[in-house]
Every structure is written in C-alpha cells, then in structure tokens.
Chains A and B, each alone.
Chain A
Amino acid sequence: MKKRWRQGEHYVWFSGAAVCLTLLMVAVLLGVVMVNGLGYFWPSDLALATLDDGSRLLGAITNAERVPDRERDNLQFKVGNRDLYGEDFRWIDGAAIADLAYPSNAVLLERVEFGNFHGFLKSLALASDDLAAPGDDWSRLMAALPLVAQRQATVDEMQGHLAELNGEIESLRRQAARLRFDDERAHAEAIHTLQDRMEQLAQRFEGENAAIARTVTELRRSRATFRDAEGREKEIVLADIVRAVRPNAMSVWAKTGFYASKVLELLTDEPRESNTEGGLFPAIFGTVMMVMIMSIFALPMGVVTAVYLREYAREGLLVRLVRIAVYNLAGVPSIVFGVVGLGFFVYGVGSALDVLLFPERLPTPTFGTGGILWASLTLSLLTVPVVIVATEEGLSAIPRGLREASLALGATRFQTLLRVVMPMAVPGIITGFILAVARAAGEVAPLMITGVVKLAPALPIDGNFPYVHLERKFMHLGFHIYDVGFQSPNVEAAKPMVYITTLLLVVIVMVLSLTAVVLRNQMRKRFQSATF
C-alpha cells in the first residue's frame, strides 16, 4: 500500500475518477434529453378515469407521484381540450379515482389550433359527396381526412401564388416609388405604365382571392362532432384536424408509423401553436445556414490572420500584443459581441447600405435591422479567435526542416507556405473549425439582438428573386429552446418540444463535428509519419 502511494498510484486513480465523472455527466445529460425527447412522439394510451364524485376525464397519464400510505399514486393527466377546459393538464388525487379504463374507441385529435382533443366520435357531416365512403363514421372520417388535407394543400398552393402576385405588385410599387423619389415629372409616363400594370395585377389578385375564399368556405363545411368524457359536444372542422387516431386500438406497428410521421413532420414542417407543436424545419434551416455563412467569413479570416502572425510577422512586442488580444477575445462574453454586432453591423453598416441601395424604402429598414447576415457576421467575430489559435498551433507544429528543405530548393516563402506548410496545417485548421462551429451553433445571446425571431414568415432562401435573402430574420434552434421553454404561455405542454429541440441541436452540432473529425483523420493519415 505504502509502496503504491509512493509510486504515485493515487494520482492515476484521481485522474481516472475525473474522466469517469466527466463521461457520466455527458451521458446523463444526453440520456435525459433523449429519453424525454424521443418518447414524446410515441402515442400514449388514453385513460378514461371515473372519479368518486361521478365526473369523468379522458387523457394520457404523463406523470405519477407516490403518496405515502396510499394505495394509488396521484396521477397527472394530459386532458387536452384546451378550448373547453382552459388547461391541458390536471393532477388527480389517486384516492379519488373510482375506475380507470382504456376504451378502444377513444379518439385523439391533433388540431391546427387549441392543441389536442380527447374524446369520442359522435357524428360526421360531409359537405360534398366526393368525400363520402362506405362504412361506419370512423372509417368514413379516416377516408375523408386525407382528401381534405389534399384540398387544403391545393388552397395553400393557391395562397402561395397569391403571395407571389403580391410580391410582384410590391416590387412595381417600389419601382414607382424610386422613380418618384428620383424625379416625378421626368418619369411621369413610366410611372403611369407601372400603375396600369399594378392595377391589372390587383384585379387578378382580387379574382384569385375570391376563388380561394369560395374553396375554403366549401372545404370548411365538412365537420365532425365529438363528445368529451363528460359528454359535452364539440363540432370540429375537418380541415382543422392534422391527425386523428384511436391510440388504445392501435397496434405497435401502427404506433411506429405514427411515430415516423411525427418525426418526419418535425424535420420538414413549420411550427404550429406558437412553436409548441409541428415541425422545426425553419429553425434547423436557419441554424445550419447561419453556421455556414459564419464559416465563410470566419475560416478564411482566421487562417489568413494566423498565417501572417506565424509565418510573416517579425516576432516582437507588437505581434505578442496582437496575439494576447486575440486570445483574450475568445473570453469576451458573447452578449458583448451581440451588442457590437448590433451597433456596428446593424445600425452602422446596415443603415448605410439602406441609404445607398434602398433609399425609396426608408424609413422602413432593409439591411438596417437584424438579419441572418448580421447575426452570422457577429458570430464570425466571436469564433475567429478560436480559428486563429488552432491554426497557429497547427502551423507551429510543422517541423522547421520541411520549410528549410523547400526554401533550399529555391522556393519562395509563399510557395513553401502553399505547397508544404498549408497542406500539413489543414488538420489543425479543421480542429479550429470544429470548435468554432460547435461554439457558433450553440450561441444564443448575441443572436437575440442581431436577427433571430420567434417565428420567421419566410426562409432566408426561397424561390423569389434574388433567391438568397440575407437581410431576412431567421429562426434558430437555440433561441427556439429559450422561446418555447420559457416564453410560451403553456409551458407544461411545450416541455417535450424543448427536449426535442435540444436533442436536435446537439445532433446537428455532433454531425457537423463528426464530419470534420473524419475529414481531419483522413488528412492526418496522409501526413502521419511526416514528423520524427
């Protein structure tokens, strides 16, 4: 024992314990997020509880609380029907429950508004015959829903076209405004032509709008009436139903299909219900695009800076000061970068751009307000020190002999840099890039004041000219977590969404990092025995 102590065995154990602790923390964190997040989409059975006082409720059991000396736990039910009860969740005293049943005809509706509905189908009123199908009410409903969804998609498409028309009118209006701004008299004829064209478009707009309104009214006449556990009736428009299932009657396979469709919705659809339901696609898109724009700026800037500091600058007081400044930049709180981004990019550069490029739109700002470009630039300021430090490390690890060999063969310093030094420094640069991406993807504070919003009306890339709209505001997974988890009116219902969003953010960062790590290891293999 004493001998082991003398040999320093305990230090080995200490460091081993520290590693275990770290791993454990990571595992617990990921575990909690995964269990809570991934379980959410599995359709849970609906329990029909009859209480001692005769009242009844239908819902999924979401939580249980052990009470000492009682036979039955206190149960938390997700009862849904927010429009009827005003609340989604209820705690029920375990002792007060007289009976707990799982009726196979209990229906769970996912709706466009007001969250889930739990109840029983009473009757069905289909507006048009082409929606009709044989069988009982439930199978008729099942047959009608996809058709209704299809028609709803057509309406959405028409509305998309309407938005295009609107955009066209808007751009004409802007052209006219620009001409007026320039010199109204000189361009009188051109302005007149523009106005004629605008009127034509406006007429088409009216016509199409009316057509849409007719279709929608027709579509919304198809309704179904449901009963809740207490027997209260509720008429629900079929077009408002996103999904309808009877979870107690579903097989494992059916539940798996439901789960898959929910995951697909998560990855490809837009959010509903103030972000607590539906998909996360705009946030995923915004996060990835922001990280990419950030990389486009931060990577070259950091690499070039590091190359100058390490390869060209004469080592002296100034270079040392610059290096210390860069290292310290990495420790500045991110919100400070946000403020700098707001002041410099948004109010400074953005406002100047507006005056130069879009004077006719003022006082409405175009670039002079938060947007994905400014947020990305702010983040690239934040991450550039990381890239610089890693690149410098990579450059300094290259043996001097190789540079000398190249120079002795008559290469210039730049040729040496390009052909010998840089290829070998790539693994180091990629390491820096990984760290920068991980940092940028998780950062929220500076984004909140430079361009992130709770709900962006349009993606930063779409089919309208000029296709990439860098001035647009965007959604971000990190901000989504904050918004849904802490700013939403119905926090309890939003909780699973927070876990899911967290999981997605972690997965995205992991995927980005892993790709870079694989790339780096391949590069390393090429240069493996280059050092001796």
Chain B
Amino acid sequence: MRIQQSAQPPYRLAVDDPIIAIRNLDLYYGEAQALKDITVAIPRRQVTAFIGPSGCGKSTLLRCLNRLNDLVDSVRITGSIKLEAMEINSGDVDVIELRRRVGMVFQAYNPFPKSIYENVVYGLRIAGVRKRSILDEEARRSLQSAALWEEVKDRLGESAMALSGGQMQRLCIARAIAVNPEVILMDEPCSALDPIATAHIEDLIDALKKTYTVVIVTHNMQQAARVSDYTAFLYLGEMIEFNKTDLIFTQPERRQTQDYITGRFG
C-alpha cells in the first residue's frame, strides 16, 4: 500500500487500493445540508476513525456506507461511494447484498430479545441458511472472533438479555461478523460501556483488522488514538483533515484539527 500526501487543501490522503472510495458526497436532510463535499478513501484491512464534535456528521457519513440513511424519508444524497467496484448510491444496487458486505455495530448495544445463539445466527437465518451444522460452526467462529466464546459457550440457549453490557456489545459484534462482511462499521461502540469493557472491545477491534476493514466513529480522542490507523476529522459537515492517526495527533496540518484535539472546542 502506497500512501502519499496530496498537494492541495483540504488535506486529503491518497490511498492506493482503498476498499471504499467516497467522492464529492453531499447529503441533505430536507433543506439542511449535513455533509458537504466529502472525499475520502477507506484503506483496506485497517482501522479508520471518524472524529469530530457532536453534530458534525460523522455518524451520518458512517450510515451512508450501508445505506441505513434510506430509512429517513427526507434524506437526499449526491456524489459517489464505491465499495470495490460497486456504486453504493446507485438506484439499482441490491441493498440487502450491500448490507451483508458492510456490517454494523451500534452505539447502544442492541441484541434481539432471543437466545445468544439465535442472535449470532440471525443474519445467516434470514439469508436462508438452514443447515444446523453450518449455523453451529459459524456461531462458534463468530463468537470466538468476538472474544465471547469462552464466556458463553455453555449457555448459548439462554437469553441474550442476561449478559452484561460489554458482553452484549461483543455479541453484537459477533452477530455482525457471522455474515462474513468485508467492512464493519462501528458507531461509538464503547460509549455505553465502562472502562474495562471498553478495553475489551478495543483489543477486539485490533484483532479484527487482520480480517476486516473497520470504520469507527468515536467521541473519544484517546480511543481514536489508541485503536485507529487512520483518522478523519469532520467539522460542521466538512472533512477537515484525513491522515495517519499518529500524524493527526502529533502534527495536525490544519488549525481546526489542532484546536479540536487539544480540546479548545468540541
């Protein structure tokens, strides 16, 4: 992978062979513009963090990647998002297929009120997988990948509601992994968790990037610094700066970025 600094501002990093390439993306909620001319490339099998103050559009941008914004009636999107060769914003794209390739973990852990096992295999079941042996195998693999297997292997039939918050969030990660996505989107996955559970999830993210591309939205700059390889800073719907994480946090190129990471606003 070759990475180079592009010449003109805003400061964008050119990424060779990105898995997702966003180009000139504008997004409107009715009349209000929430994302302005976003151009960014998500590197393959790396952790990319979106940071920025509340309301800057980082969650909205994340939800563009699996078209979850479709659920909001008034949203209008222009510009291009490419997952490999597939144009995500095109009208004839198979949204179901897209969402299988791009999994998501939410801010509030949201397991279904079913058993642990049924939660993990949910995505497979709706995709039509019936064979018990495949389901069992995938459940084990996903739970192992989510570092939850040892804790729940003897009580897969119990309700997921009996787990602790951190375990529930890891279950949600296992649920997303089970359908074998290429990209996993995480929308502030640790904001409802205590420091120990947060550390668990962060270790997990580090392990996941061997197999998956991870895009994480976070409020917490220390977390972005700890877990991500690349960081994008958004402010008021604009992409201010995108760079390798260590560079962003040590020598930001733009004034707003510096102000934000040093805590002058936000």
Measuring CB to CB, which residues of chain A are less than 8 angstroms from any residue of chain B?
A: 314-315, 399, 401-412, 415, 419-420, 423-424, 526-530, 532
Contact = CB atoms under 8 A, between A and B. Distances in A.
A314 B74 CA distance: 11
A245 to B, nearest CB: 60
A37 B99 CA distance: 65
B112 A410 contact: no
Contacts of B47: none
Given A408-B68, A409-B99, A409-B126, A314 B73 contact: yes
Nearest to A314: B73
Contacts of A399: 108, 110
B99 A410 contact: yes
A378 B104 CA distance: 48
Contact of B106 (A405, A423, A526, A529): A405
A85 B193 CA distance: 87
A404 B113 contact: no
Interface string B41-69: 00000000000000000000000001010
Contacts of A415: 126
Given A404-B104, A404-B106, 10 more contacts: A407-B68, A407-B99, A408-B99, A408-B104, A410-B127, A410-B179, A411-B126, A419-B112, A424-B113, A530-B112
B108 A401 contact: yes
A412 B97 CA distance: 11
Given A410-B96, A410-B99, A526-B159, A420 B68 contact: no
Contacts of A409: 99-100, 103, 122-123, 126, 175-176, 179
Contacts of B99: 407-410
B196 interface: no
Contacts of B104: 404-405, 408
Contact of A407 (B71, B97, B113): B71
B113 A530 contact: yes
Contacts of A407: 68, 71, 99
B126 A408 contact: no
Residue among B71, B106, B112, B123 with the most chain A CB within 10 A?
B112
Given A404-B106, A405-B172, A410 B113 contact: no
Question: Chain A interface mostly helix, strand, loop or mixed?
Answer: helix
Bin chain B's interface residue count. 20 to 34
B110 A402 contact: yes
Contacts of A411: 96, 122-123, 126
A530 B122 CA distance: 16
A410 B96 CA distance: 5
B161 interface: yes
B123 A410 contact: yes
Contacts of A404: 68, 71, 104, 106, 110
A356 to B, nearest CB: 44
Contacts of A526: 113, 159
A399 B179 CA distance: 23
Contacts of B66: 408
A529 B99 CA distance: 27
B68 A315 contact: no
B112 A405 contact: yes
A419 B118 CA distance: 11
Given A401-B106, A409-B126, A526-B159, A420 B112 contact: yes
Contact of A423 (B113, B126, B176): B113
Contacts of A423: 113
Given A404-B106, A409-B175, A528 B161 contact: yes
Closest 10 pairs (CB-CB, A-B) = A401-B110, A409-B123, A408-B104, A410-B100, A530-B113, A529-B161, A527-B113, A410-B99, A411-B126, A405-B110
Contacts of A528: 161
6 contacts: A315-B73, A401-B110, A404-B104, A404-B110, A405-B110, A409-B175
Nearest to A529: B161
Contacts of A315: 73
A532 B108 contact: yes
